[in-house]
Structure 1
Amino acid sequence: MSWQAWATVAIIVLAMALFASEKVRIDLVALMMLAALVILGIVSPLDALSGFSNEATVTVAAMFALSMGIERSGALEPLIRLLSRIRQPWLLTLAMMLAIAPIGAFVKNIALVATFLPLALRVCQRTHTSPARVLMPMAYAAQMGGVCTLIGTSSNLLADSLARKHHLQGFGVFEFAPLGVVLAVVGITYLMLVGRWLLPRHVDAEQPVQADVGKYVTELEVTADSALIGQSIAAAKLGEKYGVYPLELLRGEKRMWSPHSQEIAEGDVLLVRGDWDKIEDFQHRAGLRNAPESRYVKDRERSRVMIELMVAPASPVEGRRFAETGIGWRYDAVVLAIHRRGQVLRDKLSDVGLAVGDVLLALVDEDALANLRNDEAFIVLSERDEAHRTPRKAFYAVGIMLAVVVVSGMRWLPIPIAAICGAVAMALTGCFGRKDVYEGMDWKIIILLGAILPLGMAIDKTGLSHTLVQLGLGVVGSHGPLAALLMVYLLTALLTELMGHNPSVVLMVGIAASVAGAMHVDPRPFVVAVAFAAATSFATPVGYPTNTMVYYAGGYRFTDFMKVGIPLILVFCALSMWLIPHFWPFHPAAAH
């Protein structure tokens, strides 16, 4: 291989390591990869920028806007109200999957799961059921639905766009549906009959459940009439008496070096951890006040509500301190406590950098709550308000989405143009606000798509694709195209769990097409295998954003996804090996 090919391999390996580590944002990793390819002269500056004008990137951006219109217009709320009446957990799981899978074919999966997540948690609380029994099937159903249409997930759009770049025939909007529907039906059946026995039945006390998301950390200030003044923390025996556990004693800006033996004085701030109900009881009985709330100087006459917020995947507030997020002044909000799964925080709340999955207990102005629910940086885990929705806007949103699907499905307009027209129509009819489309856009995914697409060009130009194909054919030997299809599917599934679904599609579509060419068969079945293997990531909580969301909210362990997801991937793989050649024959002319 040439030095350019070896350099491309090194860039891919480094990017995979960074994707898997999650220590660097995925869009930044893609931009670093793009910069390296240009600096080394592997791709030209013009090719490097071509990904941002690619039709897949444009379509994904427009589909984000369409999904936002469906969500924010209240189009899903009649269904949510219907599901909220269910009392049996197993029936809720089944109903959730049957509702989410069809909607997931047209609505962004993250927005869909964020909309149904509070409902699932409330029903689990009411029926005393672990959320872990419901949330993972819900996330999987969103993926199963997304793979059924070309516009259901960004990896399908990417696969179609890259196939066209290799001079293959593109895919229709519903061309994936026959295979996708079969897999969805089998997947839902598996989750109800087999998966339910593999899901955890109980959640650790350390893990989040609705209404008591976990062991919150908060700051309590000692008042002049507190019963704790003059005592040490050790002598007060807070854990035995109140079920609240002190972490630190703060005096002004100083952190006391021996908090348990230090005598408590007026004005000291205790950093404590415990269930919120016990913290509140301790606060009242010991004569303390919540320090963040006491610093809240807004108009106290206005009505405020206490809510739970979870930091969403790909949230723009990730890594920022609460004061830097802007939600304090935008929504008149103050954070009272914070819970981080698997970690005991020992910093002042104002110094904590937020992470995905953090749950914040916050006081919010009641009038600002509706706007906060529309902020995609957070998922509101408490009950949702419905007053700001109007049936007229919901009708407009559903009608516009159907029009986009019909127009693009009938090929009257290219998919990117139809999606852009739909987004404009939703904006004009008020399905979302003027700024919503920019604030709610998942820019990380758009930047990722634009920056990573030139990697496929680099793989082709350097001859790396040819080398990888020869290695793959050496493994397959003389076992025929079905064995090669199996190899492509399994390799894509593995790469997806390591680096995410979009990068794996970019890496594999060119290789899959080359493998098909070397075997003198139609490349389209191989592209379909890549699309389906990438869009159904079940084995880890990091392979797909919806998995990440329920991982934190459901209190799962990493191995829970492996126990349920790996058998499901193998079932999908076996079905795909049988059905893909049936729907997309290796020799189309011979099939006719």
Structure 2
Amino acid sequence: MTVQLGLVLLLLAAAIAMFALNRPRTDAVALIMMASLPFTGVVTMQEVLAGFADPNVVLIAMLFVIGQGLVRTGVARRLGDMLVTRAGSNETRLVVMLMVIVALVGSIMSSTAVVAIFIPIVLRIAHNTGLAPGRLMMPLCVAALVSGTLTLVATTPNLVIHGELVREGFAGFGFFSITPFGLPLLAVAIVYMLLARSWLGRSPASSAAPPSQRTGLGEWIEEYGLAGREHRFEVSADSLLAGKTLEELALEPLPGVNLLAVERRTRFATHLLPPSTRIQAGDVLFVDVSNPEIDTDGLTRRFGVSRLPLAGAYFSEHAQDIGMAEVMIPPGSALVGKTIPEARLRDAHDVSVIGLRHGSGESVDGPRPERLEAGDTLLVVGLWKAISKLRSDMDLVVFNLPSEFDDIAPAASRAPFALLSLALVVALMVSGVLPNVHAALIGCLLMGLFGCIDLPSAYRSVHWQSLLLIVGMLPFSLALQRTGGVDIAAQTLVDAIGEAGPRTVLAAVFIVTALLGMFISNTATAVLMAPVAIAIAQQLNASPLPFAMIVALASSAAFTTPVSSPVNTLVVGPGDYSFMDFVRVGVPLVLLTLLLSIALVPWLLPL
């Protein structure tokens, strides 16, 4: 061993120790290593910084931006809402659908971001169904990790390993090269978690508080006595309402009847529009009838509309579009002394008042005849965009928003364009017409052009800590190759078990990768093990692809400790997990992944 190799190994050991202790944080460790490696004389400072121009590093940054576009347009959140609607309270169905949806979403965006999106969804499901959060959080975590085995861009280690293959002069992975291994692994993981969930969830959720401290829409519906007041009416072609706005119809004097929103079906989706919309035949009117003396059957005959069923969870199901807010009348407001109709909030702000509470806390049924006083609280309903604009009205103070407001996608109307941009990126990557990084850059620009994301949110979406970790660890690969460290490691492994056969060597590479992944991030593990795996293949005169694939699969099998992946760390608190929970659930799953990988890799990627 040379002095230079000894220095590189010493720095590597220090980095692994700091990663394991999580002191300092990983990006700081990467910066320390970047500053230290040039002193070994093996790599120059220019080579250390070259990682910032690495196409895969740029690609990862672009993928963060595309993922954020899916978040801002509500695509990812709508999948979670679909889970709540379809799965109901059946725990088995919940686990299966949760893992499938999370894995599919995680195959095209950061698994860490996916888990961050789904944690409040899962907590809400647990609270509503009375399940212990721990019985759902671990399946969420496992599915996010397994999603890394579904596409090339699903996780950073895949791109790191692909980049190492390309640097060594090999073809690298295709977009779906890893998918034939990932789909069986996902199926195995789902079956395993259906059995292993009984080991989790010590604390029942039925007595726990909801995930948000804010009041929810359901609680306001109860507080203000809104249940049973909402109705849906479909407008026929010969209706009095067709082709007109409410202002043209002069319906404001009709006491106790409030149009809250207009549902309009298009070829692709159903949209909720503000009450000032010009009504068309086929529109569905969402109406609040606060006056119990109103004959709703008479309304249908008078205006030529037909009644439609209204689900009890209408507000919850449309919480991405329509919401509520509590606003206060401040002293000196121009609204003091006016009635609700005279305030004309629908004309000015496209919101409707459906509840009134005096400063004393007394709630008033049918608020229209009441004169507004300073300190009164109004419950208004409307589209979120309209509610947000209320903050600029000096005559009102928005002082309370429901918990659902935290989940609102700011560019929900742009969702079709986000999906179109994503489809184009995937098509370009799969076809190979353009390099992956070029395809991702085009996708980012399209996201911006279509309004799915703006520049501030694009910059915020990039997980700079992950990028610094990759850039800081890449020079170790170069330094170990130049000093012969990679060849020594490969030769040692081959000498120890090479005669046992290639499957045994593949198993050994998987085990070493998985063991490293117990203590350091799977990204750092991939950076260190990819060149070793390729060198082992060269020592055995075998194809490097199966060995690289084994490293990719093992890197995603980071199930065994809370620090193996940021995904694991995120669910520790919400799931109330201990270190041993991960060991108890993770170790058998890693062994299953090992067996499945050793069976499939040599078969699909011949040695």
Q: Could you tell me the TM-score, scaled by structure 2's length?
A: 0.67
Which residue is equivalent to 2:198?
197
Q: For residue 8 of structure 1, what is the aligned residue in structure 2?
A: 8
Instruction: Look up the match of 1:270.
Output: none
Out of 432, 436, 461, the residue aligned to residue 453 of structure 2 is: 432
Mapped contact 1:130–1:209 kept (Cα < 8 A): no
Greater Rg by CA: 2
Q: Is 1:147 the equivalent of 2:168?
A: no
Counterpart in 2 of 1:65? 65
Give the aligned partner of residue 32 of structure 2: 32
> In structure 2, what is the Cα distance between the partners aligned to 1:72 and 1:176?
28
Inter-partner Cα distance in structure 1 for 2:441 and 2:390: 30
Tell me the distance in 2 between the aligned counterparts of 1:526 and 1:196.
32
After superposition, the C-alpha distances for 1:422-441 in whole angstroms (9 at most, x for unaligned) are 01110121111221011221
Q: Name the CA shift for 1:50/1:390 in 2 (closer, same or farther; >3 Å).
A: closer
Question: Equivalents in 2 of 1:57, 1:381: separation in Å?
Answer: 39
In structure 1, distance between residues paired with 2:329 and 2:572: 36
How do 1:285-300 and structure 2 match up within 5 A?
none
Which position in structure 2 is the counterpart of 1:462?
483
Aligned AA for 2:151? T
Contact 1:121 1:209 in 2 (8 A): no
CA offset digits 1:503-547 (Å, max 9, x no partner) = 111111111111111111111111111111112210111111111
Give the Cα separation in 2 of the matches to 1:572 and 1:165: 28
- 1:381 positional shift: 12
Does the 8 A contact of 1:96 with 1:138 survive in 2? yes
Within-5 A mapping of 1:237-248: none
1:449-482 per-position Cα deviation (integer Å, ceiling 9, x unaligned): 1121111000100111121122212321410211
When structure 1 is superposed on structure 2, of 472-481 and 532-541 the one drifting more is 472-481
Letter matched to residue 210 of structure 2:
A
Q: CA deviation at 1:200?
A: 3.4
Q: For 1:312-461, what aligned pairs fall within 5 Å after superposition?
A: 367=388, 382-385=403-406, 389=410, 391-461=412-482
Which residue matches 1:131? 133
SS at match of 1:499: coil
Q: Match for 1:159 among 138, 157, 161?
A: 161
SS of 2:558's partner is coil
Alignment partners' CA distance in 2, 1:107 and 1:171:
18
The aligned amino acid for 1:5 is: L
Partner AA of 2:162 in structure 1: D
Per-residue CA deviation, residues 376-417 of structure 1 (Å, 9 max, x unaligned), is xxxx99545566555541111111011100011100100011
Cα deviation per residue 1:545-574 (whole Å; 9 max; x = unaligned)?
111111111111111011111100100000
Residue 77 of structure 2 corresponds to which residue in structure 1? Answer: 77
Give the Cα separation in 2 of the matches to 1:16 and 1:385: 38
**Residues of 2 paired with 1:446 and 1:381: CA distance?**
36
The alignment covers a number of residue pairs equal to 427
Distance 1:437 1:521, change over 3 A: same
Moved more, 9-18 or 142-151: 142-151
- Write out aligned runs for 1:75-114 (5 A): 75-85=75-85, 86-114=88-116
User: Pick from 549, 554, 565: which aligns with 2:575?
Assistant: 554
> Partners of 2:514 and 2:572 in 1: how far apart?
20
Which amino acid is 1:76 matched to?
A
Matched residue of 1:152: which SS? Answer: coil
**Alpha-carbon spacing, 1:167–1:209, altered in 2? closer, same or farther (3 Å):** farther
Q: SS at 1:478's partner residue?
A: helix
Q: 3-state SS of the aligned residue for 1:402?
A: helix
The superposition leaves residues 112-148 of structure 1 with CA deviations (integer Å, 9 ceiling, x where unpaired) of: 1111111110111112211000011011111212221
* 1:503 matched to 2:524: yes
Alpha-carbon contact 2:124-2:211 (below 8 Å) kept = no
Q: Distance in 2 between matches of 1:132 and 1:556?
A: 7
Q: Distance in 2 between matches of 1:138 and 1:426?
A: 28
Matched with 1:474 is 495
Letter in 2 for 1:132: G
CA distance in 2, matches of 1:369, 1:106: 37
2:15 is paired with a residue of what secondary structure?
helix
Letter in 2 for 1:580: V
RMSD between aligned residues: 2.5
**Aligned with 1:511: secondary structure?**
helix
Measured in 2, the distance between the counterparts of 1:493 and 1:147 equals: 15
Give the secondary structure class of the aligned counterpart of 1:112: helix
2:71–2:409 CA contact under 8 A, matched in 1: no
| Structure 1 outlier segments of 4+, above 6 Å | none
Query: Alpha-carbon deviations, 1:44-73, whole Å to 9, x = none?
Result: 222111111111101100000000000111
- Give, in whole Å, the separation in 1 of the partners of 2:117 and 2:591: 29
Residue type of the partner of 1:211? P
- Unpaired runs of 5+ residues, structure 1, are 215-299, 304-365, 371-379, 587-592
